[in-house]
Amino acid sequence: MIKVGIVGGTGYTGVELLRLLAAHPDVELTAITSRKEDGLPVADMFPSLRGRVNLAFSAPDKADLTGCDVVFFATPHGVAMAQAPALLAAGVKVIDLAADFRLKDRAAFEKWYKIEHTAPDLIEEAVYGLPELNRDDIKKARLIANPGCYPTTMQLGFVPLLRAGLIEADSLIADAKSGVSGAGRKAEIGTLFSESSDNFKAYGVAGHRHTPETSAQLQRYTDQKIGLIFTPHLVPMIRGMHATLYARLTKDIDNASLQALFEEEYKDSAFVDVMPFGSHPETRSTRGSNMLRLALHRPEGTNTVVILVVQDNLVKGASGQAVQCMNLMFGLDETTGLQQIALLP
């Protein structure tokens, strides 16, 4: 059994990790930390876990994280970089769901996240945890930088086209929407029910921290300079993400060949569903599951390809993807513990 610790188990990604790992056949939950909720039984905070998680939260200084095989950080940015060095030195593998190790450029990280990076020696070692693109490196890693939710949709949508040299890399557009849970489990005016319900708005239009992350990863697949316009939006639903991606084609290719390109790219990816050409994937078709669904469109009379991508921002966009990485790191089948079917209605 894999002994698992979770640092920061009271947020949405933390409870999602608990939901998935409590049912994982090869995992033993060992420690769940929370300074504020020290001593509180996990099931008292999250009744959905009654009878499945019998641990109590413990303060970080009381938890024996070095006795774990792997520790997940479901924490604000900056926490993992402070604690990861000691854990790695003790032989514990680390999966960070925040952004501490996503950017290889330390200056870019400090610019976008407004904090000093205190573990720069680990930045280069960290493996970007997008299994569909980095599967082999993840298997050998001891430190994983779990991708952002928006970047997951953008990369899985654009990479097949970039890899094939079929699109203009300097004019990519991503118009993406996320449910309110993407903002985290905190009291904030913008995410109050009366503010976010029956409302729709864009944010981060002038610049969003997921843009440099996505651009840097996309750059790995082309010699052209990446130019990405990314606009996120907040939609009045709890969970779910929809990204509409636009790219200009540089070569004459028919729709059947475009479809075949994506089907070939993801033929061995259990959690990427390439739907029939012209389909309209819905966010509810992925709710509660680790599945990402995408579909291609080609507006008539244009040289533009449109990729529609949906996922659950808390599962494939965060905790499910982290568990997927853990499975690979420990030699398990990638799908272990992640076969949940989406909830409908």
Give the pLDDT of residue 223. 96
Provide the 3-class DSSP secondary structure of residue 239. Answer: coil
What CATH number belongs to 149-313? 3.30.360.10
List every span in the chain annotated with CATH 3.40.50.720.
2-125
Q: Tell me the pLDDT band of 189, cut-offs 50, 70 and 90.
A: confident
Percent of the residues in the chain that have a pLDDT greater than 70, as a whole number: 100
Contact between residue 180 and residue 238 where contact means Cβ atoms under 8 Å apart: yes
Provide the 3-class DSSP secondary structure of residue 85. Answer: helix
- Residue 254, both tokens: 């028919």
Give the pLDDT of residue 323. 98
Is the pLDDT confidence value at 184 over 80?
A: no
Query: How confident is the model over 190-215, as pLDDT tens digits?
Result: 778 888 888 989 999 999 999 999 99
List every span in the chain annotated with CATH 3.30.360.10.
149-313
Cis amide leading into 76 (omega within 30): no
Is the pLDDT confidence value at 256 over 90?
A: yes
Is the pLDDT confidence value at 15 over 90?
A: yes
Give the pLDDT of residue 127. 98
Q: What average pLDDT does the segment 314-343 reach?
A: 98
What is the Cα–Cα distance from 48 to 143, expressed in whole angstroms?
30
Q: Which CATH superfamily is domain 2-125 in?
A: NAD(P)-binding Rossmann-like Domain (3.40.50.720)
Query: How confident is the model over 149-166, as pLDDT tens digits?
Result: 999 999 999 999 999 999
Is the pLDDT confidence value at 186 over 90?
A: no
Query: How confident is the model over 62-89, as pLDDT tens digits?
Result: 889 999 999 999 999 999 999 999 999 9
What is the Cα–Cα distance from 30 to 92, expressed in whole angstroms?
13
Nearest Cα neighbor of 71 from 53, 50, 89, 48 is 89
Location of structure tokens 């708005």: 201
Active-site residue numbers? 149
Query: How confident is the model over 96-107, as pLDDT tens digits?
Result: 999 999 999 999
What is the Cα–Cα distance from 40 to 221, expressed in whole angstroms?
47
